[in-house]
Structure 1
Amino acid sequence: MGGGDEVRNKQVVLRQHVTGFPKEEDMAITTSNTIKLKLPEGSAGVLVKNLYLSCDPYMRNLMNAGTGMPGYLPNYTPGSPLFGYGVSKVVDSGSPDFKIGDLVWGITGWEEYTVISSTDGLTKIEDTSVPLSYYTGLLGMAGFTAYVGFHEICSPKQGECVFVSAAAGAVGQLVGQFAKLLGCYVVGSAGSKEKIDLLKNKFGFDEAFNYKEEEDLDATLKRYFPEGIDIYFENVGGKMLDAVLVNMKLHGRISACGMISQYNLEKPEGVHNLVNVVTKRLKIHGFIQSDHFHLYNQFRDLTLRYIKEGKITYVEDIAEGLEHAPAALVGIFKGKNVGKQAVFITRD
C-alpha cells in the first residue's frame, strides 16, 4: 500500500465528561480526522482496521472527569476517540510479532482505523473456526474474566451453591455455564423475563429470578439458597451485594469483577452488612483479568473445546455500524442488550 494513501477515519469521540447516566449526546460521530494507511518508517507498532468493538460497563468509569483510578485504564479525553476492546485486522506493521493480514484482539480506538503504538496488549487470533465477534466476548476479555473469576479466584468444588448477578450479560452467562459443567447448583439474577428464560432454558442455570420484581432481596436469596451461598460472582454491587453478604455460607468466596449498579450514581450506595465478612470468614477478591493473562491460552483452549463439543453456548447482541456505537454503549446501562453487546464495523 502506498505511503501516500489516506482515508477519512470515522470516529466516536467523547464530547464532555459525564455525570450520572451517559447519553448518546455525550458522544459524537466525526469524520474530520484523516489517517495514512502506512506507518512511519521505524515504527514498532501496528496500524489496524477495526472490525468489531466491545461495549463494556467499565467504559462508563472512563467517562468521568479526572485522570482515572490508580491501577486502571486512563479516563477518556473530551474531543478524542473512546477506546476499548475490539477485534481488528493488521493493515501495516512495524512489530516482529504481527504481520499484515493478522487478526488480533485487544484495546483499540472507537474508530475505523487505529495506530497502536504498543502491541503488548494485543493477542493474535489463531482459531477462526468460530465467529470473530466471539473475541469481543466469549473468547476475549469477558470470557476470560469469567474463567479467572470463577476457576482461579473462587476455587470451586463440585456440588457447591453459586449465585451470579447480571447473569445474562457478557460475563455472567459464561460463569453459570462453567459452574454447571463443574456440577454446581447455579442461580442467576437478571432484569427481564426474556433474560430469565435465557438463563434457565439456554444456559442451563438451575434457577433464575428478575431482581426488579423482588421487594426483599434477602428473602429472595433465602428462597433459592436455604442453606446459603458458597460462591458469589459479583457484577452488580449495592443492594444486591448487601443481601448476598447475609446469605453467604461460612468460608464463602466472592469474586468481584464489576459493580454496574454504582457506575452512574453521583454518590455510591453504602454496604451495611460487611460484618459478615468477619463472622463468616468470607473471601472477597476484586480482580482485573489482565493481571492473569498468563492463563489466557489455557482458558482459550478449554473454551474452544467446550464450544466445539456443544457444551457451552453464547448469546450476542450486535449493533451494525460505527454510527450506532453510542446507542449500543448507553443501552447496556439500561438493560437493553440481551447477551454480549458488540458493534460490527466492517468485514475484514
Structure 2
Amino acid sequence: MYATARAEEPRRTPSASAPRLERSPRHGMLHLQNAAGNAAVASVVARSGLPVQRAKDEAAGKAPAAETDYAPFTFKNFQFVNLNHAGEKYRDKAVRLLALLDRHASIQKYVGGRPCRITLQMRGMENPTPADISDKGATVEINLASYYFEKYDMGYIAGMLSHEFGIHPMAAGVAGIGDEEEAFTGFPMLVPGLEGKNPPRTMSTEGAKEKEHIFGASPDRKRHQAYRDVALEMATALYEQVKEQEEGATEKDVTDLLDCFLMDVATIAVGNDDRKAAGKEPSNVATVYNRYKTLVRDGLAENSPIKPLFPANKGVLGVLGDFATLAYRITNGNKGDSIQQPAEPKVPASTSA
C-alpha cells in the first residue's frame, strides 16, 4: 500500500449505471452528510458512542468512559476507538471511511453486525506496516497506523483496508482454499509480467513473511481472487459516493484505490513479500504492476463505471516515487495527531479536617 507519483492521463467520463438501491443509512447519517456536510455528521457520530459506552461502563461498575477512557467515534457497528475528533480534518475523513465500510456489502456480510473497531497506533520505521486485522470472534479489530490515516487520501486508506479484509480473514471462508494452499505451499508460482525471464521469475511461500500474501498476489489462487473482488467492490463503493456527490468524494479516490491494490500485489510478487527487496527492483515492479493492471481491467465488463478510472501505466520513476513518499511520510511529522489522548481521571476534591 503506497502513495503514487502517478503520471496524469486523460480521464473519460464514466458511463452511468443503474441507481443504487436505497439503504437505511441514507435515511440517517448519510442523508445528514449530504444535506449538511461532514461536520454535521461528525458532531452526531462523535457524541453517539459516548452515552452507550458510559451506560456499559456504569452497568459493569466502571468509571464513566469520558473520565478515564477514550470517547469512541461510532457509526452503526463500525467504530474508531481513539480518534482525535477535536478538529474537522480527521473527523471528516473518519465519517467517510466508516460510511464506506458500512456500504461495502461483502465486508458487512463478513462482519455480520459485530463491532468492528479501528484503533489508531503510532508506528515508525521499526514497524511501518500500515495496518493489521484480527477476528476476535465477538469483535473484528483493526490496528491502523496513524501516519497512514493522516497522510494518505481516502482511496489509499480504503485500498489498505481492502487488503486487510480481503487477503486475510474474508478469504479464509472461500470454499476449498485450505486444500489449495496446502497443495501450493512451497511451490513456485509465476510472477505476472516476468514469465519471459530466463529463468522465469517466481514467487513462493518459502521464505515469505506471510504465506497469505503470496497466495493473495498469485492470480490463479483463490486468495488473490477474493482480495481482488473485495478491492473492486470497494472501488465501486467509492464511485457511488462520487455519483451521489458525497462531500469530499472524487474520481481520484477510485483511481487511488486501484493504484494501491496494483502496487501492493506487484511489490509482494517481485519481493516475495519483502517490500524492501522489491524497492531495489523498480523496473520489475513497474512491469509487474502494469501486467496486473491489464489482467484486472480486462476482466471487467465494458460498461463498468470504474474501468475508465484505472491509473496510468507505472514507470520506474513512479515506483521510486511511491517508495520515497512512503518513507517521507513515516519519518517526517509523524506525531500521532489523529490519536485521541485519554481524559485524565477526575480526582476527588480534598476536604479539610
Under TM normalisation by the shorter chain, which class is it? under 0.3
More helix by share: 2
Please give the TM-score of this superposition, normalised by the length of structure 1: 0.27
User: Hey, which of these two has a bigger chunk of strand by percent?
Assistant: 1
What TM-score does the superposition give when structure 2 sets the normalisation length?
0.27
